[in-house]
Structure 1
Amino acid sequence: MTRSRTYEWQDPSISAADVGQGSGLDFLRAVLSGRLPAPPIAATLRFTLEQVDFGHAVFALEPGEEHYNPIGSVHGGVYATLLDSAAGCAVQSVLSAGMGYTSLDLTVKFLRPITVDTGKVRAVGTVLNHGRRTALAQADLLDSEDRLLAHATSSCMLFPVPAR
């Protein structure tokens, strides 16, 4: 039986133009409140930013069939996207105005399968260390009972954002 899905997103250049204008935490709070649009990948995969504080970011996803791989469970790339988003945004939350970041690497450990029966999952990102040029973060992917589904670490490069 064929299934389909339609979704919409907002112009990503709106948020991109605001990066570095204020602190990273202020930027993420603007996305969380809807003052700035979420990135298109969030609409594509149907995940949301749920919480952000200094050094901490949480994303949530209700898994659906559209996230499945050929063997009937959520594709590892969905895990990785959630974990990368949580770790990266945790890093972004500690940046001062005028600074940006990019992920240098992401190491993911898959521990449990996710299916539509798993229910809502949360990716919880935390900054472990940040300096002038790099930051190290981790993220845990958890089910509703706080069972660990996957774990990731990420190194990020920090850099000045050109003035706009």
Structure 2
Amino acid sequence: MTIEDAQPLPVLEYLRRQLAGTLTSADTTMLRYPTAISELLSLELTHVSERSANVRLVADVTRHGNQQGTIHGGLLCELADAAMGTAHSTVIVSGESFTSLDLNARFVRPAWSGVLVARAYCTHVGRTISQYACEVIREDGHEVATFTSAILTLRGDSARGR
């Protein structure tokens, strides 16, 4: 069998192999991993299971800070969105894609330089729309922000070109 003959792995299997360090150059999946934004921000997948994912960021206020000297809320939104999107991607099959319908943020306390972990999980599975929640936690264990998102699964013509 050649690389061209190899079938793409299901997303969950691909990400599990990536985490285990057993992913080979011949392994592919139908979605793009790592994503460009994840590479740009140095986001790291640390856990994945069906409809669940944890994404880690080593935050630095000199790179990720706002006017007050704390981590910018937009970065926290991206971290949570990456975790929730990754969680949902674990159930996407060939011919499907997905998009976020909304992203709701509630900021609890500030974060400064250090490790942040976004823990995303599904709270409701629908035929086309699923609901996700995510907590971003500082390395001292304190919650920084909570997020929710509705994610739409696209199929057929709606999924093409995405």
**TM-score for the superposition, normalised by structure 2:** 0.77
Which stretch of structure 1 is more off in the superposition, 61-70 or 40-49?
40-49
Q: Which residue of 2 aligns with 1:24?
A: 11
Deviation, structure 1 residue 136: 0.6
Q: How does 1:76-91 map to 2 (within 5 A)?
A: 76-91=73-88
Q: Which residue of 1 aligns with 2:38?
A: 42
Aligned-residue Cα RMSD (Å) equals: 2.1
- Pair 1:56-2:56 in alignment: no
Deviations 1:50-106 (A, max 9, x none): 111111101001111100112211111100000111111111112334322111100
The answer as to whether partners of 1:111 and 1:149 remain within 8 angstroms in 2 is yes
Flag structure 1 segments of 5+ consecutive residues without an equivalent: 1-20
The answer as to whether partners of 1:51 and 1:58 remain within 8 angstroms in 2 is yes
Structure 1's consecutive aligned runs of 4 or more residues displaced over 6 angstroms after TM superposition are none
Deviation, structure 1 residue 162: 4.2
Identity level (%): 27
The answer as to whether partners of 1:112 and 1:150 remain within 8 angstroms in 2 is yes
Deviations 1:92-130 (A, max 9, x none): 1123343221111000101111111xx211000001112
Whichever residue aligns with residue 10 of structure 2, its letter is S
Q: Pick from 114, 132, 136: which aligns with 1:141?
A: 136
Deviation, structure 1 residue 27: 4.2
